[in-house]
Structure 1
Amino acid sequence: MKLVDFHCHLDLYPEFETLVAESERLGIFTLAVTTTPKAWARNNKLSSSTKYVRAALGLHPQLVAERWREIDLWERLLDETRYVGEVGLDAGPRYYSSMDRQTEVFRRILRRCADAGGKILSIHSVRAAPRVLDLIEEEVPKGRAKFVLHWFTGSGADARRAADLGCYFSVNSQMLTTDRGRALVSSLPIDRLLTETDGPFTSQGEAPARPRDVGQTVRQLAAARGLTVEDSAAVVLRNLKNLTA
């Protein structure tokens, strides 16, 4: 099966270079998201000669309180990539105090992507899905960018609104271990589903999940949607091709 890991923090593993090579050898389409634009150069260097690994230019909302000034660097680097992530908003208790700054930064990211055109964004939306969708509607004219909501935990109404806006959803194994998560994933449009690990922030057994472990998510997705494993993998691959077309 061809596998897709559309959100993985490869540069946060000690064996970063090994994992890039492994994804390439196994033919796993892997989106290497970054948490700061200062990480861009190394990620871009390691992925630029590969067929299956792509680097995304990020400024993680959980880091915005301390690193918001890096948005200037982010903007200067944007022309070097089609992929953006991890970006977005986090309204959880630890990060709520920086919501105004997060909103300012995310708004600038969306505006810049709209101006550039053709960007694909992997978006964090913890406890902030309605606000994320508001900003997308406000700042990005239809057709100017594409959006993938990573590890989406919003309500059913939020999910329907996101789907109406054309968003995709990348789901991981941990999402599919709870009844609520399975119910949410089962309700999402099947032609908008992608898979991810969000490694190293999820686990496979005792170890952090790595791109090759996304096969477990494919199997769980198959069970949740009543598909064969082969059809589940084929659906995700077809959705990736439509997203990146």
Structure 2
Amino acid sequence: MRLVDLHCHLDLYPDFEAMVSECDRLGIFTLAVTTTPKAWSRNHKLASSTKFVRAALGLHPQLVAERWKEIELWERLLDQTRYVGEVGLDAGPRYHSSLGRQTEVFRHILQCCARAGGKILSIHSVRSASKVLDLIEEEASDGRTRFVFHWFTGSVAEARRATELGCYFSVNAEMLSKERARAVVATIPDDRLLTETDGPFTWNGQISARPKDVGAALSLLGKMRGLPETRCAELVFQNFKALTAH
């Protein structure tokens, strides 16, 4: 099976370089998201020598309160990559106080990506899916930018709205172990589904999940949709090709 892990923090594993090599050796299409633009250079250097790993330029909303000034560096680096992430909003209790600043930063990211065209964003949207969608509609709804909601925690109505805007969704096994998440994912069209691990923040037994463990999400998707795991893998790979074709 051709596996796709569209959201993994490879640089947060202790064996970062070995992880990049493993993904490439196993032929797993892996998006190495970053949390700050200062992490970009090393990720890009390692990924650029591979066939299957790509690095994404990020500024994580949970870090915006302390590191929002790095948006200037982020903007300078944008022309070096097609992939952007992890970016977005987090309105959870711990980060709600910085939501105003997060919104400013994310709006600027969307504006820059809209001007550049052809970018693919991996989006964080904890308790903020509607606000994220508002910003997409305001700043980047012309179809030149592609959006993937990572670990989507919004409602069925918000998922439908995102689908109508052309968004994709990357799902992981831990997410699909929750009844509420499964109910939302069940409403997402087959042609908008992708897979992720969000490693090392998810688990395979007692150890952090790695991109090679993304098959667990495929297995759960298959059970939900009454499809063999191999068919789910084909479906996700076709969606990945469609996402990256433009």
Question: Which category of TM-score, normalised to the shorter sequence, fits these structures?
Answer: over 0.9
Distance 2:174 2:142 in 1: 32
Cα distance in 1 for partners of 2:195, 2:178 equals 17
Deviation at 1:142, TM superposition (A): 1.5
TM-score, normalised to structure 2, is: 0.99
Superposed counterparts of 1:85-164, under 5 Å: 85-164=85-164
Amino acid across the alignment from 2:110: L
1:143 aligned partner, one-letter code: G
Question: CA separation in 2, counterparts of 1:182 and 1:61?
Answer: 25
Counting only pairs closer than 5 Å after superposition, residues 1-245 of structure 1 correspond to structure 2 as: 1-245=1-245
Q: Residue type matched to 1:181 in 2?
A: A
Q: Which amino acid aligns with 2:22?
A: E
> Could you list the runs of 5+ residues in structure 2 that have no partner in the other structure?
none
Q: CA deviation at 1:141?
A: 3.5
Secondary structure class of the residue paired with 1:102: helix
Deviation at 1:190, TM superposition (A): 0.7
Work out the percentage of aligned pairs sharing the same amino acid: 71
Equivalent residues, number: 245
Rounded Cα–Cα distance in structure 2 between residues aligned with 1:184 and 1:159: 7
Q: Indicate the SS of the match to 1:181.
A: helix
Amino acid at match of 1:155: S
User: SS of 2:51's equivalent?
Assistant: coil
Secondary structure at the residue paired with 1:182?
Answer: helix
Contact kept? 2:141, 2:165, Cα under 8 Å = no
CA-to-aligned-CA distance 1:185-237 (integer Å, 9 cap, x gap):
11111100000000001000000001000011111111111111110000000
1:60-118 Cα distance to aligned partner (Å, 9 max, x none): 00000000000000000000000000000000000000000000000000000000000
Name the amino acid aligned to 2:10.
Answer: L
- CA shift for structure 1 position 143: 1.5
Structure 1 consecutive aligned stretches of length 4 or more whose deviation exceeds 4 Å: none
> Counterparts of 2:81 and 2:137 in 1: how far apart (Å)?
23
Q: CA deviation at 1:49?
A: 1.0
Name the stretch that deviates more: 218-227 or 61-70.
218-227
Amino acid at match of 1:83: Y
Distance 1:89 1:24 in 2: 31
Deviation, structure 1 residue 128: 0.1
Letter in 2 for 1:13: Y
Task: Please tell me whether the aligned partners of residues 185 and 224 of structure 1 are also in contact (alpha carbons under 8 angstroms).
Answer: no
Structure 1 unaligned runs (5+)? none
Secondary structure at the aligned position of 1:187 is classed as: coil
